[in-house]
Amino acid sequence: MPFVSLNPATNELVKEYPYWDEVQLEEALLEVEIATPMWAGTPLNERCGHVRRLGQLVLQRRDQLAELITLEMGKLIGEARAEVEKCALVCDYYTDNGPAFLADEVIESDAGRSFVAHQPIGTVLAIMPWNFPLWQVFRFLVPALVAGNTGVLKHASNVPRCALAIEAVVRDAGLPNGVFRSLMVSSAQVAGVIADARIHAVTLTGSEPAGRQVAATAGANLKKTVLELGGSDPFIVLEDADLDWAVQQGVKSRFLNAGQSCVAAKRFIVLESVADEFVAKFKAAVEALKPGGPMDSDASLAPMARVDLRDELHQQVLASLARGAIAVTGCAPVEGGGAYYQASILDGVSPGMSAWDEEFFGPVAIVIRAQDEAEAIKIANGSDFGLAGSVWTQDAIRGERVARQVQSGAVFVNGMVKSDPRLPFGGIKNSGYGRELSRHGMLEFVNQKTVWVR
């Protein structure tokens, strides 16, 4: 079966790409193998210069790249442009800060001089999803390149044109041949790539089952991994929250990218004393969202990336309704072509329902009512996931206290969860391990070598 590029707004075929055979894969890996020591030996300031030019070229091609994202996975064109701009931003961030992050760390010991040197480890394999088809790649690739590593990409099967466009912009920016390649291989071929001695580490953003498979294969081959998996992020609304602000940000957090984000607000845990008011305001705001063609500047709700994903989401909704959840609004596919699903709210969600136990990866908000702050925290921590979450209160001290008790890799108080190059990003529990972005993410894929000198 080939890579298939479909337009989610119409479900029409754009283009198919055959999977590589073993000869094509070997040619690409050999090219990367040759480039790896050369790139590691390139002075850091020269590597930074290359990456800065990459960011500049990405900005020059913003509209072209954004249109490609929109065509292949259905993102609203404004959101797609913002994604491309963020890729350029991460290039600037690491060229500005990478040299300080990679500087030797002097540590006092019984030596005349002792320090930790941060050196490249080799080639990083990235297995990336379709929901942010450029950003997910750039947030691994840019710090890896600045650190002196090379990279290879196994992208999602429904965004092959994005995968090839990333390789093209890296090449056209003047980076040496082989420092980055997009591998047009099937999922069945990935285990062999991980096991290949020329691959030194693996990073994956994807589902929990995929993470378990990759971790097992990498572990069997003693390869370092970073896993960013699913999330069921709590959005905790306390009784003293600014409800208008919480609703505004909640709609954006849940329905951005048609709800297809690991760190989207998914479980709206609202204190009972304000729940009716919050749900009424939330319903009005959600019903104002306008499904439309993703190239339409007036549209505010994009299609989902594929029809099969929309249908899986609807089955989760139906299963929850059958167990007693309440459809506040939506909760059905949009009639007509494409992979559209109505902006939806489920209330009355309780244990045993799909909406309580599973990640909903699409435009469905789940409302869970809590009696008090303690119960809200207990519900938030009752998930197997622990990627991120948010707390909404007009008391910042209280918000920070609650945030410290939420079990996740990040908690935002009175703000929508987002990835930021300056802040480490990643989860705990079944949301994975390791960090991306910031200094913490850059150091995941370097050899932190102790040097002791008498």
What is the set of active-site residues?
Answer: 228, 262
Most distant pair of Cα atoms in the chain: their distance: 75
Tokens of 387: 């990627």
Task: Give ∠ CA 66-70-72 in degrees, rounded to 5.
Answer: 115
Q: Which two tokens stand for residue 351?
A: 């244990």
Give the whole-angstrom CA distance, residue 281 versus residue 237: 13
User: Contact 118/446 with Cβ under 8 angstroms?
Assistant: yes
User: Residue 298: CA atoms inside 13 Å, Cβ hemisphere, count?
Assistant: 1
How many other C-beta atoms are found inside a 10 Å radius of the C-beta of residue 276? 12
Q: What DSSP assignment string belongs to 204-264?
A: EES-HHHHHHHHHHHHHTT-EEEEE----EEEEE-TTS-HHHHHHHHHHHHHGGGG--TTS
Q: Which two tokens stand for residue 146?
A: 């600045």
Stated as kind and residue range, the H or E segment containing 335 is none
Tell me the H-state helices in 61-147: 62-73, 77-102, 135-147
Give 439: exposed, middle or buried? Use CB within 10 Å, 0-12, 13-18, 19+.
Answer: middle
